[in-house]
Chains A and B, each alone.
Chain A
Amino acid sequence: MLQDVIEAGNGDMIVNVGPQHPATHGVLHLVITIHGETIKKVEPHLGYIHRSIEKMCESLTYRQFIYVTSRMDYLSSHINNHACALLTEKALQIEVPERAQYIRVIMDELTRLASHQLWWGAMAMDIGALTPFFLAFREREMINDIMEETCGARLTMNYMVPGGVMFDIHPNFVQKVKEFNAHFKQKIDEYDELLTGNIIFQNRMKGVGVLSKEDAISFGCTGPTARASGVSCDIRKLFPYEVYDKVSFKECMATEGDSFARYVVRLEEMKESMRIIDQLIDNIPEGEIQGKTKAVLKPPKGEFYTRVETARGELGVYVVSEGATTPYRIKFRSPGFSNLSALDHIARGQKLGDLVAMMGTLDLVIPDIDR
């Protein structure tokens, strides 16, 4: 070990963070060069959880490949499924009944809430506060219960089908979602009390890992990471899908671009998600839950692209169709990959302890990066 440092000549030390490391929340491998406590370089090594989901999708039909994508960004599996369902609908011009659209959006927002709650807890744990994790899971558990009742699963819900949703909502769904919303509206202040106002937390977060607007654009960052740097990139606002154009919500933005801005944007986003759910939950129209589709889906020849806003940013699905029952070529543009690419840039010159805080606020989900 000492030999390495001597050979480097300038006192630099190379440390492998991961693939098994408590702060990377998965099998991310960062090779970091540090000088004392100061980071000089961060080099992410990917591929430890690569399952070639894109290739797998190419051998599955348009009805089947949706469900593989649940395993990409497992924290927003609903939204991943949604993107794929939207693509098939776009290619075949399937009308989605209004009831299904409402349900889809409510489910998306619940997923976003659950994902942000987990992020909040895990990020707090990264910077050394252990209690927030349990508070976050208290609320997330309620969402999981709602999902379990309606979709039959808690994490990889597999609820979307081309043309609508798989089942109708459970009779308790509306009431339970309302209960959750009322509960979480009170509890989100607790989040602020415990963490946001804490002086140690603010010192750890403010002015750390600053990502400028230009850099956010050039690294292709999306989602709350880019919005915290002042880039307006909410797909729900810019390219509304389903009923997002009928609900009023704010695109949460900040201009500082530091870790604290990313934190605040995500907290605000949780409040906006609750507003969206509030507007929709009372007005779910009666009617069909699935549009009319053929038994075998064969999109016409051509190229199709859809995008949705996941909890982490923009998820794009690009499909080349040869007119067969399976996609000829499929490619996902995952938000985590682009957001991770900014890590080296924002981490240079910061302290080792800040690295985990920055990784926490970038909200990295490793299966989403590797696919």
Chain B
Amino acid sequence: MFSLENITNLVSTWLYANLDPTWALVVQFVIVGVLVISLFSILGLVLIMMERRVAAWMQLRLGPNRVGPRGYFQTVADTLKLIVKEGMTPDGADKFLFNLAPFIVMIVSMVIMAPLMFAKGFQIWDVNIGVFFITAVSSVSVIGILMAGWASNNKYSLLGAMRSGAQIVSYELSAGLAILTIVVFSGSLQVSTIVESQADGWWLLKGHVPAVISFVIFIIAVTAETNRAPFDLAEAESELTAGFHTEYSGMKFALFFLAEYVNIFVVCAVGATLYLGGWMPFHIGNWTSFNQVMDYIPSSAWFFGKTFFLIFVIMWFRWTFPRLRIDQLLNLEWKYLLPISLFNLLLATVIAIMGLHF
């Protein structure tokens, strides 16, 4: 069966056989860096195209259809335009912070990819606190957003950044608690172990009530964390023109934009890993032949399929729901999601301690 694991092992063995260990590590770093950067840009292009197609499909339109075959080069053309556009820094802005902010946001969404398991044996860094690493690093992006809003010297940006700060900090709690539920069940923070624990069934489908509840909470919380509609208050275009990135143009704006989409990918990948079994194929009990057919689908296809399904769900939210108001947003988190997820975690812990999970 085709597997990316063979390729990575082959490259690794070859490197260590021909170079001394330090240089082999350096070469591996370079390869990984290039891969992540190219994945970053490809994801940006693909997800923006996907968003526009999904939007068009839901809104009775055709979507992009001019540049290239069926409009597939539209995002490439957009990116080219953004690259050659002047990146302006407004007068009165804090120039250093203003220019630093998009990079912080982008670097965060790149670093967060490290513990993700893209396929069987295809992972950049199998750190033993993988899930914790993702939650910890993803909270840094709010600093970039606050920085952008404050340094722009624009009232709309400031309001957007304030909203974003309140929102991301609150919803991180629910997202973290939802993740912890699965951590309790699988008994590990390591991404590879969590995926292994789902070999005989995905956590969402195994029939644990806390897992299902935490999945719903997780999806709501990550939609809010990535500033997507119906929680896109930070950039609510009808209220704050563009929120925290009102003053950004050219590539600096594009970095925010790309980071948003890569963040969506990352959170959906985390969701797919925790609840939908990561790269694990879909198996049904004793149906041996069915399970074998499922095994023939490459593990990377499973992973990306699940991730893109979740991405589609989040896009679906965006194109159907109106936006919440800031007080309703915070009420939802502090009065409903947080108590529910705390109780849910407690329930999950009780189940795990009594050994009722399977």
A127 neighbours in B (Cβ, 8 Å): 238, 322-323
Partner-binding segment picked from B122-130, B214-222, B227-235, B278-286: B227-235
Which of A1, A131, A201, A203 makes the CB contact (< 8 A) with B58? A131
Fill in one digit per residue for A104-137: 1 if any B CB lies within 8 Å of its CB, else 0: 0000000000000000000011111111011100
Bound: A135/B155 CA distance, A: 34
A201 to B328 Cα, complex, angstroms: 11
Contact of A128 among B92, B154, B156, B230 (CB under 8 A): B230
Known: A1-B158, A352-B159. A128 touches B238 (CB 8 A): yes
Q: Which residues on B sit within 8 Å (CB–CB) of A195?
A: 322
Is A354's CB within 8 Å of the partner chain B? yes
Known: A37-B159, A134-B59, A135-B60. A201 touches B237 (CB 8 A): no
With an 8 A cutoff between CB atoms, is A63 at the interface? no
Whether B20 sits at the interface, judged by CB under 8 Å, is no
A353 contacts B323, CB within 8 Å? yes
A15 touches B155 (CB 8 A): yes
Contact with B along A181-212 (1 / 0, CB 8 A): 00000000000001100101101100000000
**Does A55 lie at the interface of the complex (its beta carbon under 8 Å from any beta carbon of B)?**
no
Known: A134-B60, A204-B325, A354-B325. A128 touches B236 (CB 8 A): yes
Q: Is B78 an interface residue (CB 8 A)?
A: no
Question: Residue on B with the closest CB to A124?
Answer: B322
A353 and B239 within 8 A (CB) = yes
A1-B154, A37-B159 known; A356-B238 Cβ under 8 A: yes
Does A13 have its Cβ within 8 Å of any Cβ on chain B? yes
Q: Tell me if B292 counts as interface (CB < 8 A to partner A).
A: no
Assess whether B24 is interfacial by the CB under 8 Å rule: no
Q: For A204, give its contact among B55, B60, B319, B322 (CB under 8 Å).
A: B322
For residue A345, CB closer than 8 A to chain B, the reply is: no
Q: Which of B30-78 contact A (CB under 8 A)?
A: 55, 58-61
How far apart are the CA atoms of A131 and B55 in the complex, in Å? 8
Interfacial chain A residues near B156, Cβ < 8 Å: 15
Tell me whether B324 is interfacial, beta carbon within 8 Å. Answer: yes
CB-nearest residue of chain B to A137: B60
Residue from B59, B159, B238, B326 in contact with A126 in the complex, judged by beta carbons closer than 8 Å:
B238
Residues of chain A within 8 A (CB-CB) of B55 are 130
| A130–B319 alpha-carbon span in the complex (Å) | 6
Residues of chain B at interface, number, CB under 8 A: 33
Any A CB within 8 A of the CB of B320: yes
Residues of B within 8 A of A355 (CB): 239
| A138 lies within 8 A of B60 (CB) | yes
A135 — which chain B residues lie within 8 A by C-beta?
59-60
Establish whether residues B229 and A128, one from each chain, have CB atoms under 8 Å apart when the complex forms: yes
Chain A residue nearest in CB terms to B230: A200
B155: nearest chain-A partner, CB-CB: A15
**Is B139 part of the binding interface, using a Cβ–Cβ cutoff of 8 Å?**
no
Within the complex, what minimum Cβ distance (angstroms) separates B165 from chain A?
13
In the assembled complex, A285 has its CB within 8 A of some CB on chain B: no
Contact partners of B321 in chain A: CB under 8 A: 128-129, 198, 200
Q: What is the interface of chain B mostly: helix, strand, loop, or mixed?
A: helix
- Give the complex CA separation of A194 and B319 in angstroms: 11
When A37-B159, A134-B60 are in contact, do A129 and B241 touch as well, CB less than 8 Å?
no
Report A117 CB to chain B, min CB distance, Å.
14
Contacts of B323 in A (CB 8 A): 127-129, 200, 204, 353
- A22 contact set on B, CB distance < 8 A: 237-238, 241
The contact of B325 among A15, A133, A198, A353, by CB within 8 Å, is: A353
Judge whether A21 is part of the interface by a CB distance below 8 angstroms: yes
- Interface centre among A22, A135, A353, by most chain B C-beta atoms within 10 angstroms, is A353
Counting CB contacts under 8 A, is B249 at the interface?
Answer: no
B319 with A131: CB separation less than 8 A: yes
- Does B79 touch A at the CB level, under 8 Å? no
Residue of A131, A198, A201, A351 touching B59 (CB-CB under 8 A): A131
State whether A353 touches B154 (Cβ < 8 A). no
A195 CB, min distance to chain B CBs, angstroms: 7
> Residues 223-264 of chain B: 1 if any A CB is under 8 Å from the residue's CB, otherwise 0?
000000110110011110100000000000000000000000
Residues of B within 8 A of A198 (CB): 321-322
Enumerate chain B residues within 8 angstroms of A23, measured Cβ to Cβ: 238-239
Give bound CA distance, A93 to B94, whole Å. Answer: 70
B229 near A13: Cβ-Cβ < 8 Å? no
| Distance (whole angstroms) from the CB of A6 to the closest CB of chain B | 14
Interface flag for B188 (CB, 8 Å): no
Closest to B58 in A: A131
- Would you call A134 and B322 a contact (CB within 8 A)? no
Closest to B229 in A: A128
8 A Cβ contacts from B256-302 to A: none
Interface residue from B58, B59, B236 paired with A353 (Cβ < 8 Å) = B236
Q: Report if B89 contacts A (CB, 8 A).
A: no
- How many Å lie between the Cα of A347 and that of B73 in the bound state? 45
* Residue pair A200, B158 in contact (C-beta under 8 Å): no
Check B233 against A353 for contact (C-beta < 8 Å).
yes
Q: Chain A: which residue is nearest B152 at the CB level? A: A1
User: Which one of B155, B321, B322 has the highest number of Cβ atoms from chain A below 10 Å of its Cβ?
Assistant: B322
For residue A190, give the distance in angstroms from its CB to the closest CB of chain B. Answer: 11
Q: How many Å from the CB of B250 to the closest CB on chain A?
A: 20
- Chain A residue with Cβ nearest B323: A128
Chain A residue numbers with a CB within 8 Å of B237 are 22
Using a CB-CB cutoff of 8 Å, which residues 108-159 of chain B contact chain A? 153-156, 158-159
Q: Please determine whether A1 and B322 come into contact, CB atoms closer than 8 angstroms.
A: no
C-alpha gap A325/B323 in the complex (Å): 54
A301 to chain B, nearest CB (A): 50
Most interface-central of B59, B92, B156 (chain A CB within 10 A)? B59
Given A134-B61, A353-B323, A21:B155 Cβ within 8 A: no
Distance A126 CA – B238 CA, assembled complex (angstroms): 5
| Interface pairs A-B: 3 shortest CB-CB | A128-B323, A134-B59, A129-B322
Can you sample 22 A-B contacts with CB below 8 Å?
A1-B92, A1-B153, A15-B159, A23-B239, A127-B322, A127-B323, A128-B229, A128-B321, A128-B323, A129-B321, A129-B322, A131-B58, A133-B59, A134-B61, A194-B320, A198-B322, A200-B321, A203-B324, A204-B324, A351-B327, A352-B159, A353-B239
Inter-chain pairs besides A1-B92, A129-B321, 19 sampled, C-beta below 8 Å = A15-B156, A127-B322, A128-B232, A128-B238, A129-B322, A131-B58, A131-B59, A131-B319, A131-B320, A134-B61, A195-B322, A198-B321, A200-B321, A203-B325, A204-B325, A352-B159, A353-B233, A353-B325, A356-B239
